[in-house]
Amino acid sequence: MGMRIGVLALQGAFREHVVSLKRLGVEACEVRNLREIDSVDAMVIPGGESTTMGKLLTDWGMLTPLRTRIEAGMPVYGSCAGLILLCREIENSTQPRLGVLDAVVRRNAFGRQVDSFETLLDLPVLARQGEEHQPFPAVFIRAPVILQVGPQVDVLAEVKGQAVAVRQGHILATSFHPELTRDSRMHRYFLDMCS
């Protein structure tokens, strides 16, 4: 495959994403600076604290170059805080963001840490041809939901009528943390998008 996937490693659950990607046999590396952004073919933005990540991206001069790469077509996948950073608008917030996903997001929509939960999600896009569709074990931790999407955004999964997985061309985003499970189908779907 020869593809190199970067995982933004400023804060949050980046190590788990690297492990999940390597389990699928691709080269995955932690990204902490501009030079490393330029060395990867695609990027994963992990869960964590979106305000902290946005501030670090800004302080370290990485926000605009990363946005430029994504706008030029670099595939990107954001989970939880990564989803928040990708969205055009964050409800009641002016925090720094990439703003490349045509969607409005609400932070901590399901409540606080104690309200975290797991559920089996219906995600038909994860089944490859000839495979039987199986529900995906989704882990939600202080998770956001997408309140509205633009016309180019496909909703891939919902919980209680709220969008929790979306795709807009080369941009993938989920409210949940697939890297915290042994199920590699979400990462595999992203790699299929990249190739």
Active site residue 87: no
Cα 132 to the center of its chain, rounded Å: 25
Neighbour-count burial for 148-165, b at 16+ CB within 10 Å, e otherwise:
ebeeebeebbebeebbbb
Q: Which listed residue (16, 17, 87, 179) is catalytic? A: 179
**Which residues touch 188 (CB under 8 Å, ≥6 apart)?**
24, 126
What whole-number distance in Å separates Cα of residue 43 and Cα of residue 24?
A: 15
Active site residue 179: yes
Angle at 133 between CA 128 and CA 139, to 5 degrees: 100
Q: Which listed residue (87, 177, 187, 194) is catalytic? A: 177
Angle at 58 between CA 168 and CA 61, to 5 degrees: 100
Active site residue 158: no
Q: Which listed residue (16, 80, 187, 194) is catalytic? A: 80
> For residues 15, 113, 56 and 168, what is the CA-based torsion angle, rounded to 10 degrees?
80
Kindly list the catalytic residues. Answer: 80, 177, 179
